[in-house]
Chains A and B, each alone.
Chain A
């Protein structure tokens, strides 16, 4: 309506509708607009996410009632004591960090050449197809892939049988069975797309002309890799490793499926929570929180967050 449009540009309060008045209020007080847009998501972040974490940490200090196995409001340091000073539990944490690092390294070893090929060597028309191929396994369910690997590693299967009939045994002379090796392989398979994509994105941002320029200036391939390629992709590798490390650290389903009797920190927390012993489970949860905070801080030093 043209009359309203004419009014909007001139301060004429008498004939302005509620919408116009609201708009004017926001214009006069810009901070109001900021607060009203940002309040809901920030409230969500603080109350639901950080609030939940805070409740978790607080629960670790409660005492458990023996008869009913429910947390009381009595304060105790016993749960933290059990979680942080029992040597078997510390070994579980060490084992979990070890598995997470092994998965990250294995993913890196496979993802680097793959990402390099896709971004630098493959023809542009094929590039899209390769990226889709890398993402495609994510469409299959996590559990489905886990059980598929279980079927492959099962001692009764042709692939992993320990006798001479087994495919693995006859080609490389070793078969993992269910255990830490099988667990690392399966987890590396699950998280590989998360490592390939950031590295591919990082390499994509590196113009091939830079590599040509480096060669023109007399740089051999290794020198080019060290001085030109690496600074570009280290942040990308760090970004990819955030996914593989944190996803592997907390995993408690794969150890049950392909890990045999292996127990990681996630299994310990799940088992304690189901005991039911919520306070002790909360105390155990402080371990991965601390580890992830340390890991994220070190990754941010490598500028990973600019590449996520």
Chain B
């Protein structure tokens, strides 16, 4: 008995010590993960609200001058800026493998469809075996990057800022990525993928969240988000909605059109009243929703078996379901849409940085960029890929070079307390509150 009690006492002491050490290790690793640029140093070392103000001051400044979401007032002359400190200046040999977090359909090696493959040639040329983990949402990607076990991620604008602030990603040296030069100018050095003129990744492509509808139910195609928000919908109980807090922006976008006196100018900059109105709309929407999809396969299954007749979707889901015989189509409604502008970013703790740089160059190359943009159904980022798409009209259909189209597409962005639309008289609701509100809504 005495021995047992002694063992128990020692073990409990060990456990308490472990708990204390565990938390110290976390903060230590965030410090060492910052690879030395001024921006990441302040972000990682200073975890108080000052850091949030620093990193969000950049987007707030550039968007204050105009409310257009895809605006190009970002510093485009920074192309010639020298690479930041701590970033590699030359590439070595490939390490033999690269571990990626990607959106579904971004890294295809022929296993989904033997004809869809832009990975095998990369693996053969560079010797870097590609291991991909599908991320279902930006939140999941941030959480996966925090584990430090991956070399890179295809991050949307609402993940990039959190990753930069947390020190998970390192800036890139564009000189090591020859295809970077051909990327459309209005995608480079934007608020979501750069800090103070230092690029943090290679743009992958951009797209809009679309309204999917069953063509047998909707003999004339719908053109408004009212089909998913209003009781007058033709598909009550068969609406499928993206299960992520970022969807609150979709509700805010609808309110921009239907309740203009709320004064919403940017769906990611919502003060408390505007936020409450968006949540109220989503509460009312719950009666219509049959499915909150988190994995793209959920919505695809619903579209194929007919339990989903309308909802918010990605073009790739529509393409995959159509290939399996679903009678569906998708449009961008008149109110506009939320969308995403994705950037390949390299982890600050990448174990295979050379392979990661080679991958970023490969996916930004005209051939691969054209293939993925066409498969996924989005606008490519490389201007030269428009000549290589199987469908010669792909770039014009997806408005790759048409800056006007993107004026009513609101790229996923992290909502911060400092209002992204430049208002200084109110505090906007930060993303962690979006997450809590969404959890409550879904409970």
List residues of chain A with CB under 8 Å of any chain B CB.
31, 34-35, 39, 42-43, 46-47, 50-51, 54-55, 58, 62, 64-73, 82, 86, 88-89, 91-92, 154-157, 178, 256, 260-261, 263, 267-268, 271-277, 280
Contacts and interface: CB of A to CB of B under 8 A. Distances in A.
18 contacts: A35-B3, A46-B11, A46-B14, A65-B51, A66-B431, A67-B49, A67-B56, A68-B43, A68-B51, A68-B162, A68-B166, A73-B24, A88-B440, A89-B440, A91-B443, A155-B307, A261-B292, A275-B435
Contact of B305 (A154, A272, A276): A154
Identify the interface centre among B3, B49, B140, B442: most chain A CB within 10 Å of its CB: B442
- Classify the secondary structure of B's interface with A: helix
A93 B31 CA distance: 38
Given A55-B19, A67-B162, A42 B7 contact: yes
Interface residues of B, number: 57
A69 B307 contact: no
Interface string B128-157: 000000000101101100100000000000
B15 A156 contact: no
B421 to A, nearest CB: 19
B143 A274 contact: yes
Nearest to B237: A177
Contacts of A86: 440
Given A263-B443, A276-B142, A73 B11 contact: no
B442 A263 contact: yes
Given A67-B43, A68-B162, 13 more contacts: A31-B3, A47-B18, A51-B19, A54-B15, A54-B19, A69-B431, A88-B443, A156-B305, A268-B439, A275-B245, A276-B146, A277-B432, A280-B436
Interface of B: 3, 7-8, 11-12, 14-16, 18-19, 22-24, 26-27, 30, 43, 47, 49, 51-52, 55-56, 137, 139-140, 142-143, 146, 161-162, 165-168, 245, 286, 289-292, 294, 298, 305-307, 416-417, 430-432, 435-436, 439-440, 442-443
A39 B30 CA distance: 35
Identify the interface centre among A51, A92, A267: most chain B CB within 10 Å of its CB: A51
A19 to B, nearest CB: 26
Contacts of A155: 305-307
B396 to A, nearest CB: 37
A73 B27 contact: yes
